[in-house]
Structures are given as structure tokens and as C-alpha cells.
Chain A
Amino acid sequence: MDEELWSLYDNGDSEIKEYQERAEKIAREQAVKDILSSPIISEGDGGVVKVKLPILKDHKFVWGKNEGTPEADEVKTGETEAPEGWEYYKNNDSGEEGTEPGEGNESHDYVTVEIPISDIVDHLAKELGLPNLEEKAVRKIEEWETNFDTYRETDTFDGCDVEETLLKNLIRNMSAGNPGIGGFIEDDYVKLSYNERQKESTQACVYFLMDVSGSMSDAKKAIAKMFFFWTKIWLKKCYSKVDVVFIAHDEKAWIETEKKFFSVQSGGGTYASSAIELCKKDVTENHPSSQWNNYILHVSDGDVFRSDAEEYLKVLLSMDFNLFGYIETPTSIDYEAGGFAWGPRNQESEWMQVIKKVKHPRILASCLDKREKVGQALKDIFGRA
């Protein structure tokens, strides 16, 4: 058949388009659940975020394993040169080469879709807020609200209330004896004008502290960055006058630009108190607590000495802050990612223990051990009680 003739029936690309539209529609519906846990590719232009979403499955009756399915010995066929009785261990380099039957190749099973940030943020804004916000001495009055809510008889034509105008026109026509709409005159138009109101807002500054030491593997950092990414997006949309300071630390701490912060790579030991000392320095110099509401978020895997953690806490308690959130990305992430893992699997770090011991109302902690829990961690820290 001719190629041109064939193109009449060309389905492929149009179906991909339709498919993407559907995927986005579904994604928007479950914004927090799915998007927050999806790996973000980049922040695109025009307020969209590009995310990788698993391909929409077409649902059918299939065999599988539910949560409580009783286990049974399974047999599988294959080909091997090993003798009978040979044992291959799973997740071992010298072991099984083949993939398990029925499992798809994961790298193909994702599509990139663009989701408007506003949709996600709307959802976030309903559930989250900056707690303990205090009115400080100096206020920045920079936010303006514009509302079209004033009717004026004579004014410049800023806006027109269509419904009211049609109604007015209809009533005038009816009283003249010919019901119907039409023949507009100047008097019919209901003009709208806007009022500008000043919106008062207090100053707030949020410190992002991230551990980038050697023990923070790529998998842990990916989750940490995901958390910061969504926190930043939410803050920017909901509080336009919030300062954000990005601090990365290993043995030393330094202030990063936003762009570099989300792609920072480092290694080496961990000395957490360096970060909080830098933070304290910045607070006293640039964001004094008499004028600013200060929020501190620290993401780390908690791989520090107890002495360091206690030192950290001492510095922290000497500061005046509105909220401190400690988010731990534990080692179990590495075990699940299948990479090399430091330390025991399910054990609370010493840092976490130290922080939990201090029952300070403004010190919160959350364990972020899974991608799916980013939304939950946000709620733990910023959820309105």
C-alpha cells in the first residue's frame, strides 16, 4: 500500500495525544497523591511542571498478588547450564540474568506529562499553612488585591457585568412594549470598576537545610529534593513575600543559590551543627526575629554523632524561631533502591531520638522513607492542626 494512502489511517500520534490528555486529566484529579510522589523532570515555562507518570494501565482481570495472598512455592521454567540443585540468589550479580516473567521493562513504562502547578498548589493550599505566624514590628505592605466589585453609573469602561446589562436592556425593552434583547444604549451598560486594597502580610523567611554528605545517597537526595521542591513551589504561590535561604552542608555549611541547590553534589563527613550555626548567623544578620518569622527545615539521614546532635540542639534552642522541622530520609530507602546501603535497615537514628526527647511545641519531626510520603511529610510539618 502507498505510504500516503496509509497516512489517512494514521493513528499512532493522535492516539498518543489523546492518551496524554487523559493521563493529565487523571493526574490532576489525584494531584497530591500521584504528583507529589512522581519523579520531577523539570519546571517548565508558564507555570507547568513536567513529571514522569506511570503509563495508564488498561484494567483487566489479571493474576497477581494482593496484600494478604497466602504464599506458595512457585515453579518457573527457564534455561540454565547449571546442574540440578544449583541455587541462584536473587539480587546477586552472578545470579539470575533473566527478568521475572510478566514484568515489563520499567524504563519504557513512563510518559512525561505537563501539569499546571496551580492545580497542585490549589490542593496543597487547602491543607497547608505556615504555623505560628506572628505579627512582627515591621510589616512589608506590598501585596495588592484587585477586585472588580464596584458598580458605577458613569465611569471608564473597565469591565461590564453582562448578566445585569442584559437584564436591564430586557426590562427597558419590555417597558417600551417590545420584549426582547437588542438596541443597546449607553444607559443599559452596568459598568464595573475595581478597587485596590492593600493586603497586609508579615515577613517570613524559610531556611532549607540539606545534608549532602557521603552517606546521603542519590536515592535519599532525590527524595529530599522532592520535598524541598514542593515546599518551595507551595511557599512561592501562597506567600509571595517569603524569603527562602538554601543551605547545604557536609562537614562545612554554605549558602547555595536556588538553581545550584537542586543539583548539588557533594560528599564527605557530616557535621550538622555547622549548618545550624550558619543559619543562626544569617538570622542575626539578615532576618532578625524581631522583624521576621523564621522557619527552619532540615533534611538529613541522621547519620551524625550524638555529641553533634546535642550541640545542634543547643544552638537551635538558643535561637528564636517559629518552627523547626526535621525530616529524616532513613537508610531503608537505599535498601529499597537496591544500591549499597550504610548501616542497619530499620533503626531510628540518634539524632531522631535526641529530637524526639525534647518536647518542644515548635520542633517537629517526620520520617520520609518513601517517595509516596512526600505529601504526608508536608502535612506533618505544615498541616494546620
Chain B
Amino acid sequence: MIVEKHLRKECDKISAIADSLGMDWHPIRFETVSRNLMQKIATYGLPFRMKHYKYAMSWYRNKKMGEMGGFAYETIIHGNPCFAYMSNENTKILNELIIAHCIGHSHVFKNNYHWKVVPTSIIEMARTNLGIAEDYKARYGNEVVTDFLTSAFALEDNLDWNYYVKHGETFPPYPKPSKVLVHEGINDHFELKEPVLPYQKEINTNFPPYPEKDLLWFLATQSPRMEDWQRELLLAVRQEAYFFYPFVMTKILHEGFASMAHIKIMDLYLKDSKDVFDFALLNAGVVNPNWAPSGNPDMPAATLTHNPYWIGYNILKDIEARWDDYFNKGLPTPETDEYPSCDRFRLKDKNGNIVKSKITGWQKVLEVIKEEDDMSLFRNYLTSKLMKELNLAVFKEDKFSFTVKTKSNPHEFNEAMNMLKAERYTPQIAVTQVTNKGMLVLDHLDIDSVPGYEILLKDAKQVLLHLYNLWGSPVMLRTKINGVMSAILAKRNEGKVQVFLADANDKTKKMEEI
């Protein structure tokens, strides 16, 4: 571990304790930086990224937050070594806590399967990308490159999250763009003379061979109308975007385990009772349920948010306690069973002896860290007992009220969580075919997965215009709008690019411009 001088001694002690706990992590490089820099790193997610005005929004927001007193104590970035930044305003005890916390994060980075596929040199990559973008800005003009990046960023969330599962770390042996497509079809299509109707029969080229969710990669490699520098930038945006998706997948696991790690390590590390008190105070500021009981039974308190530190820590603690129990007393029987199905696999052996778990609670937690992500953590390990303890609830929302639907059914909670996730994530959109005239056809794959929600037409219109910029020919998206299967089409009409909405099934209806 590399750390500044004044913390070196503490750092060595803390890492020795972590080693003794059986944790396994990438070395970490700590830096103390000013509050201003902390905010900048929090804004970009990385110390360097391609300059673009879209970050101004979150930068502005973080700045305001900082003025109001809230700012991050630390930021850690995945890699080998990991880079961790902590504020130079921190107290000594806080810095020690952060070191222990970061070791927890680093353990997840090294062991969790979502993170295994992320390149360990993302900081260098992002720095290179910044350099490339600046070069191109100097060569082709700031305006041109910024506009192109805006188009690219519009698609940065449309990734194939199972990309690495499908293809591994190498680029897939994707079929080469068919020659017919590039040289005849598309080039003829650039200056459209006749309007293309979305339901007009066009010959399917059987390309791409399977629905391609990785839109940026598809455009960078297959778009017929792009220069080399544009393809390079598109891939650079995609590279950085892939770095951020495991964060979304493992947020609760990450923070929960890091909290657990710092509590365990500091428990062994701190000797002085005053330090213990200070630590407990700091810890309570982070690992808490974000809301307080109202004290009035007529006005019970409630929130629609979860603190990932609190909820993650509690689930992991519950797992540890349960498996310690199984290790000492044996696995549960169906009669006493309050536990989810995965615990119920072994009760008694042939001779009627109680079967004990072979691993302790802490070992089980390390196993969980390896294999799970947020959703599977809830699915596999949330019990109704724990739900009651943590006051977790599922609300049913209608126009005027929220009703507490259940407080003890983990299955319903998972369903609701799934829905919420889908709502927060990007809709799954894939390229399903390129027609012989060069029209790019996109399909919305998870149309009815979030009840009451559709793709927002206003935003989709803008994204389709960006897509038109990148593809250079008409682009069509098929999805449900206002409850009806519709086609949104971007094409050139009377000298400018316009977006139309059409009913995908009813051929008699006219297209409307939106």
C-alpha cells in the first residue's frame, strides 16, 4: 500500500489486521487532496475524463452540495493498484476508518465476478482518451468534436451488460459488414428521394445476426458514414461507460461489505476508549437507516429510499450470524424454519445426526462477496425476519396515497426491487436489423417490464436525432407509445432531419411529426 508519510504506520497495522481476517485485495494508493478536488473526482467518477459540457450539471450540483456542507470523505477507483482519494480536512481517526473501508472496497474489486472483467488500468485509459479528445478538438475544432461527443454520450447507457459473459475480454468474432450493405445499399440511401414508411416492406438483410445491445460498438464498427477519429472517440466513450456498470450492479454489496470490513478491522485496531467513541460516532453517521422513528404511533415515519451502507451491512451481518449458527449448532429443520429456500438444503443425514455447516459466518460472507450482486443478494438472503427488523416494506402507490402492502414477504420485496431497478436502468434497446436500404431498425426488448412506464417520447426523439447523426441514414425504433405499438422514425425530409411517430400495425394511419 502506498500512502503518505504521516499515515504509513497506521496503514501497515490496519493492513496486517485485514490480512489476518483472510481478506484479499489489490494494493491501494492513497492520496490526500483538497475538498475541491474531491468534488471534482466525485463529479467525473474518474480523475480524468474527456472534457464535455454535460459534466457541468453534476459539477454544479456537487458544488452546491459542498457549499451546504455535504461532501464525500473518500473516493476509490478500481484498478491494480486501486486509487483512493481522501480529503485533507479529515481527522486522523477518520483517515484510519477510510483506510479500513477502502480495503473492504478493494476486496470486492478483486474478488467479485462483475469486477473481474473490468480492465485494471482504467485511469490510464481514461487519461489517454482525454488526450485523444483534446488532440481532435485542436485538429477538427472544439464545436465539431463536442457535438460528436454529445451524440455519443446519448447512447452511453445502452450497453450489453452480459457482454463479457458472452464474449470474454476479447472483441467478439462479429461478422464483417456485408459488402452489399456498405457499397450499394447504404450509399444509395443517403439522399432519400422517396419517404420511407416504417411498415414499408424492405428486404431483411439478416444483419446483425443477433440483436445487438451494445449500440456504441455496433455504430463504431458498422456505421458506413464515419471517419476514423469518430470511431475512435465512440469506442473511447464506450470503454469508460463499461467501467461504470458494475458500480450500478454491486452498489449495496460494495458499501455493505466495506462497512462491515471497517467495523471488523477497527474493532481489532482501536485500543484507546476515546478513539472507540470517536469511531462509533463517525460510523453511526454513515451506517444508519437515513430516517428516525417519529415517536408518535399516529404518524409513523416512512421513506422510499434505502441507505446502501445500512441495508447492505445488515444483510451481510445477518448472513454471518446465521452461518455461525449453522456452524455451531447445525442447519435448520423445516419445523423451525423461517429461512429462505437456499438454507433448507440439508437437515439431517442418514443416521439422523444434525448436519453442521462447514464454513463459518465470515467465510460465508466472503463467498457471498465473490458470487452475488445487489439483486441476487436480496433474492437469496433476505428473510422475513430481517425485513421486520429493518422495517423494510413494499408500498402500493396509486394517485392519492401509498399503502403499506407487506412488511414480511421477501418475495414481494424482491419483485418490487426488480421493478425499481428496471425503472432506474436504461430500457433495453437493441439493433435487430439493417434493411437493404440502410435503415437501422432498433427494437425495445423489455417493453412491459415496468408497469405504467414507457420510453419517454420527448427524450427518445432527441436520441434518435443523435443516432441519425452517427448512422447517417434513417433510424427507426419500435416500442410502445401511449399503449400502442409504435414506430419512431428519424429521417431526412425537405432538407432537414425530422422525427415521425407512426402506428406500427395500422397502415392506414398517417405519420405525425413530433
Contact = CB atoms under 8 A, between A and B. Distances in A.
Contacts of A80: 300-303, 391, 393, 395, 404, 407
A66 B456 contact: yes
Interface string B436-476: 00000000000000111111110110110010000000000
Nearest to B427: A61
24 contacts: A11-B55, A12-B59, A15-B56, A20-B56, A57-B459, A58-B54, A61-B427, A65-B454, A75-B412, A75-B415, A75-B416, A76-B402, A77-B394, A79-B289, A79-B305, A83-B407, A84-B407, A85-B404, A94-B298, A96-B302, A96-B304, A98-B305, A99-B304, A108-B65
Given A3-B33, A70-B482, A90-B401, 20 more contacts: A11-B40, A15-B56, A57-B459, A60-B463, A61-B158, A62-B456, A72-B452, A77-B393, A77-B394, A78-B305, A78-B395, A79-B289, A79-B392, A80-B300, A80-B301, A80-B303, A85-B404, A98-B304, A99-B304, A100-B304
Contact of A59 (B402, B419, B427, B462): B462
B300 A81 contact: yes
Contacts of B429: 61
Given A15-B56, A75-B405, A98-B303, A61 B416 contact: no
Given A64-B453, A97-B291, A1 B404 contact: no
Contacts of A78: 302-306, 392-395
B154 to A, nearest CB: 5
Nearest to A99: B304
A85 B51 CA distance: 50
Given A60-B463, A62-B456, A74 B302 contact: no
B452 A61 contact: no
A61 B56 contact: no
A6 B304 CA distance: 39
A69 interface: yes
B396 A75 contact: yes
Contacts of B397: 73-76
B55 to A, nearest CB: 6
B403 A85 contact: yes
Interface in A87-120: 87-90, 94-102, 108-109, 111
Nearest to A70: B483
A109 B393 CA distance: 30
Nearest to B34: A3
B59 A16 contact: yes
A107 to B, nearest CB: 8
A90 B426 CA distance: 28
A293 B54 CA distance: 51
A75 B416 CA distance: 6
Query: How many residues of A sit at the interface, in one of the four size bands?
Result: 35 or more
Nearest to B88: A3
B43 interface: yes
A55 B60 contact: yes
A343 to B, nearest CB: 21
Contacts of A74: 396-397, 419, 451-452
A68 interface: yes
B305 A75 contact: no
Summarize B's interface: helix, strand, loop or mixed.
Answer: mixed
Nearest to B406: A84
Contacts of B423: 63, 101-102
B416 A76 contact: yes
B94 interface: no
A69 B454 contact: yes
A94 B407 CA distance: 20
Nearest to A77: B416
A58 B157 CA distance: 12
A340 interface: no
A128 B37 CA distance: 51
Summarize A's interface: helix, strand, loop or mixed.
Answer: loop
Nearest to A6: B37
B384 to A, nearest CB: 12
A19 B55 CA distance: 9
Nearest to B480: A69
A56 interface: yes
A348 to B, nearest CB: 26
Given A64-B453, A78-B395, A83 B463 contact: no
Nearest to B484: A68
B59 A68 contact: no
Contacts of A16: 56, 59-60
Contact of A98 (B57, B302, B466): B302
A302 B243 CA distance: 59
Contacts of A62: 426-427, 455-456, 459
B354 to A, nearest CB: 35
Contacts of B150: 58
Nearest to B146: A18
A64 B466 contact: no
A138 interface: no
Contact of B457 (A1, A22, A66, A77): A66
A212 to B, nearest CB: 33
B390 interface: yes
B394 to A, nearest CB: 6
A67 B482 contact: yes
B43 A84 contact: no
B413 A77 contact: yes
Contacts of B390: 79
Contact of B481 (A15, A66, A84, A94): A66
A63 B405 contact: no
Interface in A12-27: 12, 14-16, 18-20, 22
